[in-house]
Structure 1
Amino acid sequence: MTTTEDVLKGKYPAKAHAKKVAGYIKSKGGDITGTLYLEGQKTRMIEDNDEPMPFRQRRYFYYLTGCALPDCYFTYDMKTEKSTLFIPPIDPDEVMWSGLPMTPEEALKAYDIDAVLPTTEVNAELTSSSTPKTTIYAIPNQVSDHITFLSYSAKDFELLKSAIEICRVVKTPYEIALIRHANAISTAAHTAVMRAVSTAANERDLEALFLKSCIERGARDQAYHSVVAAGTAAATLHYVRNDQPLAGKLNLLLDAGAEVACYASDITRTFPLSGAFSVESAAVYDVVLRMQKECIAMLRAGVRWDDVHAHAHRVAIAGLLRLGILKGVAEDIFAAGTSVAFFPHGLGHYLGMDTHDSGGNPDYADPDPMFRYLRVRGTLPAGSVITVEPGIYFCRFIIEPYLRDPKHKGFIDEGVLEKYWDVGGVRIEDNILITDSGYDNLTPTPKEVHEMEKIIRGEA
């Protein structure tokens, strides 16, 4: 059986990606003898400082090269399928401070490309008589001023960006292995936080522990800014403070994920600070876990994500009716959209090189608030990776307008609701690979109540 480690011993499949993108361009009537041109992210300096900003490679460039070096360029001849990477030449002054950079020989060995040249030869290559001078495909605002396309008969600044975004949706086995590895590292970090949560004093203690656990396992970069939200702060979807004391609060919502070789994990767990959920917290957690499990069970290639999201709302309504927070007829509540007060975001999003990965075709102008923030619309293809992250939140800013709205207030029992404000919010998030026959959950992080409570209490 091939393991994740076995897959990652190979090279990032840059040429397969380039061929796939070129094929998409051809399918849209593009020039089959054209040239793809991409630039990596430049080294950027901190304003009024001689230090560089933290570097993050452009994802479009990485997808076709697997190269995380700054200040690079790339061309792909669609006719000959030849890929060329241009890397910075040796700068003696820079070597004195930072050591020797990667050489062309090392780059050719490390990356799935055909040729490596210094960046000083980009324009010479673009104007060379050996290079087809038909159509150049590039991304707008990602072409340096000194680059010339004058020798090309046509220039297309539209198709390449959308082609890469669409091709990125279906992952290769190598990309899946990277996401699986990022999930394994993040799982270790989430578990470390669970073990420490009952003795920590502040949200920042737990964020620091999560980062330490990732870094010591080889993942220095994070896929996104972690959400470490205690108590009612968990009702803020993208909470950023991560600096508040834990004393006197019920639960911790931890939404955090490591990044491995430009590929993300995105995991959320909610667990009790004391090692045991309160009655109200346990009841809400049960609803959210049921939402997630039922939605994951629906997944397979061709399923309509809008329908899965709608099912999450139906499960949420049934659960909140059982708790007495909602009252009335479930179908009437669904039709009114009252459940959006407690579950205001979309069920999930594509995952890959970006946490909110490309290709989802969201419609943020949708007049229906139940679907407005759904980041993926339409059917899911085999090979895509999507997050499933239902939640129930008790945010006064969101819920109180519903209590004043005649359309919704009759469906909410304010007396029962009063017991749940301190729960804050519960979200559970896993990363799911879609297959032809179903799905593969890439996230092994504990989420059953008895598992998490045993870890927190030091019994597992």
Structure 2
Amino acid sequence: MKELANHYPAHLSELQQRTATILERENLSALAIHAGHAGRIFLDDMYYPFKTNPHFKAWLPIVDTPNCWLIVNGQDKPILAYYQPLDFWHKVSKLSDDYWTRFFDIKLIADADEIAAILPGNKQGVAYIGAHQDVANDLGFTDINPESVLNYFHYHRAYKTDYEFVCMREANRLAVLGHEAAKTAFYNQGSEFDIQLAYLQATGHSENEVPYGNIIALNENAAILHYTALEQSKPSKYLSFLIDAGASFHGYAADITRTYSFNQDEFADLIIAMNEMQLELVQGLKPGTSYVDLHIQNHYLLAALLQRFDLVNLDAQAMVSKGITGHFFPHGLGHHLGLQVHDMGGFMADDKGTHVNPPSDHSFLRTSRGIESKQVFTIEPGLYFIEYFLSALAKSDNAKYINWDKVDRFRKYGGIRIEDNVIVHQERLENMTRNFNLA
């Protein structure tokens, strides 16, 4: 992809500058960034799926090779120690020439222990960044994941480079392909497992390559927020389908949710209304505004929708003040997105890590940080009929405001969530998801 080659040098330059700044601030000479190694399953000879350290894959698109290292100081050509063993048990990922390789001093290692000869002999002033403290200790590091360094990178990671935008657009394009295939499989009356297979085939991903476990929920299963059971049996009746599924490209994630009704019924009308509400909330992503305020606005819009569909007999102001909307929407409006699905830095006021708590009555929020250009967010309002919350509501003083007959008719559908991935530019918004024609 030509765009990747065009934008990668500036991306690397930005990472070098960030590295130079924090090393000088913390009186460090270099960072040793460990991609990580695969964890062995207890009492077994197999390994858990390998997931690369996000601090490592920020620099280059190596996402499936363990035991690699980067040694960076913000000035010199970064050193990449690439693990390429002699192995007859497993397929070895060969390192081929690509748009990014000329920017690194590449050293091949056939054994993980060979990194000791490549790392600086004197570890004083060299910080280890990675998940394996035992490895760091064995290699002689004394400065392991310093909080000040992590805070700095996590804060600045919210500001994406043009290269990162290219990667995230491609992740969205792949995810939309999967969503379209999943939608077709639903209307063809596939099981949750059938729909999952259709999604993976359309994206070209294996189950371990998607950025998170896909939520493929039929009917009342849509009321389980992190439902990943994937039933192989088909339901006796098809009513609703909620899919929360993403894709990955060069280590960057897409995170998209859609909800469908099998019939043209009142639940289908409710989905249409939620879609309109979601699009209105997307337009609220403006530089200089508050994501917390946008989350709270979502509650007022949801309250108006609950009143409009005769689910709650109160006006929006009273409904929100009494906390009723939280029983139908028990999570945050969205989160930062990038190298991780729930990307870091969402609660930081500055690059020293000053924490900004969300309001106590909106504790499920995943970001309290102000909205700025070059940031990427998900916007994912929901409306659910969850037994846990409805039972609590039924026992509360607010039970008298609920149209329980209507609520009970909607329980079988589970719920609705609609989610897009949006880049905030200074003068405009870029809805990556909708740009690939997912209605």
Equivalent residue runs for 1:395-414 within 5 Å: 395-406=386-397, 408-414=398-404
Per-residue CA deviation, residues 372-410 of structure 1 (Å, 9 max, x unaligned), is 11101121221111111111111122112112111x223
Letter in 1 for 2:340: D
Structure 2 contact 303–315 (Cα < 8 Å) conserved: no
Q: Measure how far apart 1:55 and its partner are.
A: 2.0
Judge which range, 117-126 or 378-387, deviates more.
117-126
| Structure 2 unaligned blocks of 5 or more | 349-354
Q: Give 3-state SS (helix, strand or coil) of 2:259's partner.
A: strand
Q: Measure how far apart 1:201 and its partner are.
A: 3.8
- 1:278 and 2:274 matched: no
Assess, with a 3 A threshold, how the Cα gap between structure 1 residues 347 and 219 changes in structure 2: closer, same or farther.
same
Residue 232 of structure 1, aligned match among 193, 206, 220: 220
- The residue that corresponds to 1:257 in the other structure is 246
Structure 1 contact 67–111 (Cα < 8 Å) conserved: no
Letter in 1 for 2:19: A
Per-residue CA deviation, residues 3-33 of structure 1 (Å, 9 max, x unaligned), is xx43134575563353243255268x322x6
In the alignment, the residues of structure 2 paired with residue 11 and residue 378 of structure 1 have an alpha-carbon distance, to the nearest angstrom, of 27
Percent identity, aligned pairs only, is 25
Structure 1 contact 187–443 (Cα < 8 Å) conserved: yes
Q: Measure how far apart 1:256 and its partner are.
A: 0.9
Assess, with a 3 A threshold, how the Cα gap between structure 1 residues 140 and 194 changes in structure 2: closer, same or farther.
closer
- The residue that corresponds to 1:39 in the other structure is 34
- The residue that corresponds to 1:439 in the other structure is 429
Q: Measure how far apart 1:58 and its partner are.
A: 1.1
Structure 2 contact 129–144 (Cα < 8 Å) conserved: no
Residue 341 of structure 1, aligned match among 316, 327, 330: 327
- The residue that corresponds to 1:193 in the other structure is 182
Q: Measure how far apart 1:233 and its partner are.
A: 0.9
In the alignment, the residues of structure 2 paired with residue 168 and residue 270 of structure 1 have an alpha-carbon distance, to the nearest angstrom, of 31
Per-residue CA deviation, residues 191-210 of structure 1 (Å, 9 max, x unaligned), is 11222222234111111111
In the alignment, the residues of structure 2 paired with residue 433 and residue 8 of structure 1 have an alpha-carbon distance, to the nearest angstrom, of 18
- The residue that corresponds to 1:214 in the other structure is 203
Per-residue CA deviation, residues 228-267 of structure 1 (Å, 9 max, x unaligned), is 1111111111111120523313111111111122111111
Residue 101 of structure 2, aligned match among 100, 111, 120: 111
Structure 1 contact 38–142 (Cα < 8 Å) conserved: no
Assess, with a 3 A threshold, how the Cα gap between structure 1 residues 155 and 283 changes in structure 2: closer, same or farther.
closer
Q: Measure how far apart 1:113 and its partner are.
A: 3.6
Residue 69 of structure 2, aligned match among 66, 69, 73: 73
In the alignment, the residues of structure 1 paired with residue 93 and residue 197 of structure 2 have an alpha-carbon distance, to the nearest angstrom, of 31
Residue 170 of structure 1, aligned match among 152, 159, 162: 159
Q: Give 3-state SS (helix, strand or coil) of 2:78's partner.
A: strand
- 1:202 and 2:191 matched: yes
- The residue that corresponds to 1:458 in the other structure is none
Q: Measure how far apart 1:227 and its partner are.
A: 0.8
Aligned length: 424
Q: Report the structure number with the largest CA radius of gyration.
A: 1
Structure 1 contact 11–110 (Cα < 8 Å) conserved: no
Letter in 2 for 1:242: L
Q: Measure how far apart 1:173 and its partner are.
A: 1.3
User: Normalization by structure 2: what TM-score?
Assistant: 0.87
Structure 2 contact 155–345 (Cα < 8 Å) conserved: yes
Equivalent residue runs for 1:10-159 within 5 Å: 10=6, 12=8, 15-25=12-22, 29-31=25-27, 34-68=29-63, 69-78=65-74, 80-88=75-83, 90-91=85-86, 94=87, 96-98=88-90, 102=94, 106=96, 110-111=100-101, 113-119=103-109, 122-127=115-120, 135-139=125-129, 142-143=132-133, 144=135, 145-149=137-141, 157-159=146-148
| Structure 1 unaligned blocks of 5 or more | 449-460
In the alignment, the residues of structure 2 paired with residue 169 and residue 256 of structure 1 have an alpha-carbon distance, to the nearest angstrom, of 22
Q: Measure how far apart 1:169 and its partner are.
A: 1.0
Assess, with a 3 A threshold, how the Cα gap between structure 1 residues 99 and 403 changes in structure 2: closer, same or farther.
closer
Letter in 1 for 2:140: T
Q: Measure how far apart 1:434 and its partner are.
A: 0.7
- 1:287 and 2:273 matched: yes
Letter in 2 for 1:297: Q
In the alignment, the residues of structure 1 paired with residue 158 and residue 29 of structure 2 have an alpha-carbon distance, to the nearest angstrom, of 24
Q: Give 3-state SS (helix, strand or coil) of 2:152's partner.
A: helix
- The residue that corresponds to 1:387 in the other structure is 378
User: Normalization by structure 1: what TM-score?
Assistant: 0.83
Letter in 1 for 2:55: Y
Per-residue CA deviation, residues 95-122 of structure 1 (Å, 9 max, x unaligned), is x44466536xx47874364312245664
Structure 1 contact 140–158 (Cα < 8 Å) conserved: no
In the alignment, the residues of structure 2 paired with residue 431 and residue 238 of structure 1 have an alpha-carbon distance, to the nearest angstrom, of 19
Assess, with a 3 A threshold, how the Cα gap between structure 1 residues 170 and 178 changes in structure 2: closer, same or farther.
same
In the alignment, the residues of structure 2 paired with residue 42 and residue 375 of structure 1 have an alpha-carbon distance, to the nearest angstrom, of 29
Moved over 6 A (4+): 362-365
In the alignment, the residues of structure 1 paired with residue 314 and residue 117 of structure 2 have an alpha-carbon distance, to the nearest angstrom, of 72
Q: Measure how far apart 1:43 and its partner are.
A: 3.3
Q: Give 3-state SS (helix, strand or coil) of 2:360's partner.
A: coil
Q: Give 3-state SS (helix, strand or coil) of 1:56's partner.
A: coil
In the alignment, the residues of structure 2 paired with residue 374 and residue 99 of structure 1 have an alpha-carbon distance, to the nearest angstrom, of 42
In the alignment, the residues of structure 2 paired with residue 101 and residue 446 of structure 1 have an alpha-carbon distance, to the nearest angstrom, of 35
In the alignment, the residues of structure 1 paired with residue 190 and residue 242 of structure 2 have an alpha-carbon distance, to the nearest angstrom, of 15
Q: Measure how far apart 1:285 and its partner are.
A: 1.2
Structure 1 contact 284–392 (Cα < 8 Å) conserved: no
In the alignment, the residues of structure 1 paired with residue 97 and residue 114 of structure 2 have an alpha-carbon distance, to the nearest angstrom, of 16
In the alignment, the residues of structure 2 paired with residue 118 and residue 420 of structure 1 have an alpha-carbon distance, to the nearest angstrom, of 59
Q: Give 3-state SS (helix, strand or coil) of 2:237's partner.
A: coil
In the alignment, the residues of structure 1 paired with residue 219 and residue 15 of structure 2 have an alpha-carbon distance, to the nearest angstrom, of 47
